[in-house]
Amino acid sequence: MQKYSVILVLFLSFNLFSQTNWYVDYQNGSDSNNGTSFATAKQTVNYLTSNNLIQPGDTVFIIGEYHNPSYNPNFTYGGNNDRNNPHIWHKENTIKLNNLHGSENNYIIFKPYDSNTVLKGDGANILRISNSSYIKVQGFEIYGEVDNIPISTAEGLLTDGLQFLYLADNVVDENHPTLSEVLYRVTVGTTIQQIENTTYSDLGGSAIRPSYPDTRGFYISGCHHMEMTNNTIHHTPGGGLRVSESSFVKVLENEIYNCSGRSYSGTHALVITKAKEDNANASDDPTYSIVVAKNTVRDNFNEVFSWSPQKTIITPRIDEGKGISLQRNNLNPWENGNMRILVENNLCYWNGFSGVHSNDGWHIDFINNTCYMNSYTNTVTYADDQSGKNIGISTSGGDDIKIINNISTIDIDWDGFAIAANETSNLTVSDNLIFGINGTLTEDDDVTAIEVNTTIANPFFIDATMFDFGLQPNSPAISLANTTYAPTDDYYGFSRDANPDLGAIEYGTTVGISDFNSNKVNVYPNPVNNILQIDGTITEIENVTLYDVLGKKISMAVNKTDNSMDLSNLKTGVYFLKTNNQTIKILKL
């Protein structure tokens, strides 16, 4: 017996020390190197995967900038006669992993070598993983091309851009089409009214459109046991992070911002779609197959209205661009199974429409999230012509959804809802705090019919204009959470106490706020052309500060003679006037 024990120990020791660290340097490495040190780095991840070198338990370090083969940050689209340029059609992936598998106790890990590592790309996806399992992706910066793609290139209504291009069915080479093979869904110069009055042909689900303005940051599909942790995904013209037809996935502590702006496909920052009920694989968590927690999802919105090849109508208005969007999580096995999706402890602010949304989803829990001003499209893009009420936490269709312990603050100038529901069965809405800036809050009738313990009050964030969503000591959100559902820790990983708070961030003993008072100020006229009058106590008026929509402080003093502020030199747009305890939206004409 002792002999076999010694053999087992030796076997386990060999397994432990046989795990390999791989190094990949796209700029300076070579696939003829052995890849096992910084100095002998491989050039491509593809070499490691195609030769089956990566094994369970291995770690792959990416060094420096890694981009797709034809990446060109200086590319400029030339309009109509350039519409067959291969660069806008190439669909390359910067890194693609397919059929790569770790094991239950030996995840394969992909990490940046140091802070200089960045993944870039201008094809279909920057990081693409399919049909794989037991993989962790940790700490990457994934940086898209939004800053290099002008709006005039993305749009196609008034400019000869990429918005309405697609390839003919009989295209010979979809990566190198001829001019005659590139067609226009809508021709340049078509008016909004003409689009609304036109019935288009159904192009089918396989219609090919340009990849260049629709590059995703990180896309996984057909996978199980995946962890994406502490990645920063930003400025991708398509979506930021998309998880499709997968199970046992954890999306933790990522930051996703300035994504989805140039896309024609109506995409979002973080998408979970078609979750799979996977009984063939064991789970560490008997309840949740998908966990989306402690992420910051901000400043993601569409700048181009979308169209679908399968639809015969086009709505010429931006109506997508959400923060966290759960879509079509209603496959039959998922509906009939026991697993759930958890969206918990996330910060979502200044996204185009809802901060957190489910469309046709089953078995979903939205717990202790903080959502703030997720209405960029209505507040800024369509400031004078707003529509769409889903600007906080919302559901449309589906069954068995819980919305509990959240804080949702909205811009209510145009009667949107902090929590909205439409045709959702078995919906639970309880112990949430909702608040509206600059007006009287209106609630969704479908929500008021079922809600329990809803608090309508200012949450008193430490400084929402500077995106500090911690709670002031007088916040009504403190100690108000339903303890049955509250997570054990908060957004920062700090333990919640025995009487937990609403929202993503638990109140701390040091909040940086002193001498708080409840005095209010009023401003008029609003909208304002030039001079803004401010009424309130001397203390409050002396502490007035003005910010733009991105949270940048505007140097603008109050005239103490008549308590006014001269805004005549400001550009037309939305601004926020902040006092010690109040934030007022100002529309400058």
Q: Are residues 49 and 69 in the same domain?
A: no
- What is the C-alpha separation between 415 and 379, in angstroms, rounded? 12
CB neighbour class for 188 (10 Å; exposed up to 12, middle 13-18, buried from 19) = middle
289 and 410 belong to one structural domain: yes
Question: Are 30 and 69 members of one domain?
Answer: no
- Whether residues 447 and 556 share a domain: the answer is no
The encoded tokens of residue 388 equal: 């769409």
Phi/psi at 557 (5° precision): -95, 155
Q: What are phi and psi for residue 543, nearest 5 degrees?
A: -110, 25
- Taking phi over 0 as left and psi of -120 to 50 as alpha, with beta for the rest, 174 belongs to alpha
Query: Consecutive 10-residue runs of the chain (589 residues): their mean pLDDT?
Result: 46 57 98 97 98 98 98 95 96 98 96 96 98 97 96 91 94 96 94 94 91 98 97 96 97 96 95 90 81 97 94 92 96 93 97 95 98 89 74 95 97 84 96 90 93 96 90 95 96 92 82 38 80 77 73 76 86 75 73
Answer yes or no: is 61 within a domain.
Answer: yes
| 172: in domain | no
The answer on 360 and 238 residing in a single domain is yes
* 44 and 99, same domain (yes or no): no
Q: What does the alpha-carbon distance between residue 220 and residue 213 come to, in Å, rounded to a whole number?
A: 19
Domain boundary among 471, 489, 506: 471
Q: Are residues 542 and 444 in the same domain?
A: no
Q: Which residues span the domain enclosing 553?
A: 522-588
Strands 564-566 and 531-535: antiparallel
If one counts the domains in the chain, the total is: 3
Is 352 contained in some domain?
A: yes
Domain boundary among 435, 451, 471: 471
Residue 409 in any domain: the answer is yes
pTM for the model stands at 0.85
- In this structure, is residue 506 part of a structural domain? no
Contacts of 212 (CB under 8 A, 6+ apart): 75, 77, 87, 88, 89, 90, 122, 123, 145, 149, 162, 237
Q: Which of 251, 249, 250 is nearest to 240 (CA)?
A: 251
Can you say whether the dihedral through the CA atoms of 265, 270, 276, 277 is positive or negative?
negative
Return the amino acid letter for 194: Q
The DSSP secondary structure of 379-401, one letter per residue, reads IIITTTS----EEEEEEES-EEE
- From the list 247, 231, 1, 268, the residue with the least C-alpha distance to 112 is 231
Contact, 519 vs 540, CB < 8 A? yes
Q: What is the 3-state secondary structure (H, E, C) of 352-379?
A: CCCCEEEECCEEEEEECCEEECCCHHHH
Question: What local confidence, expressed as pLDDT, does residue 229 receive?
Answer: 96
pLDDT at 13: 43
CATH number for position 420:
2.160.20
Residue 457 is predicted with a pLDDT of 95
Residue 293 lies in a domain: yes
pLDDT of 581: 62
Residue 511 falls inside a structural domain: no
Q: Does residue 288 come out as left (phi exceeding 0), alpha (psi in the -120 to 50 range) or beta?
A: beta
Q: Specify whether 258 is located in the same domain as 147.
A: yes
| Domain shared by 17 and 99, yes or no | no
Statement to judge: residues 59 and 117 lie in one domain: yes
Q: Percentages helix, strand, coil for the chain, rounded to the nearest 5?
A: 10, 35, 55
Is the CB of residue 292 less than 8 Å from the CB of residue 344?
A: yes
Domain assignment present for 394: yes
Q: Decide: 346 and 296 in contact? Cβ < 8 Å.
A: yes
Distances (CA, A) of 168 to 175, 188, 265, 314, 343: 12, 18, 18, 19, 41
- Please indicate, yes or no, whether residues 145 and 32 belong to a single structural domain of this protein: no
> Among residues 440, 471, 502, which one ends one of the domains?
471
In a shared domain, residues 261 and 380: yes
How many whole angstroms separate alpha carbon 95 and alpha carbon 111? 13
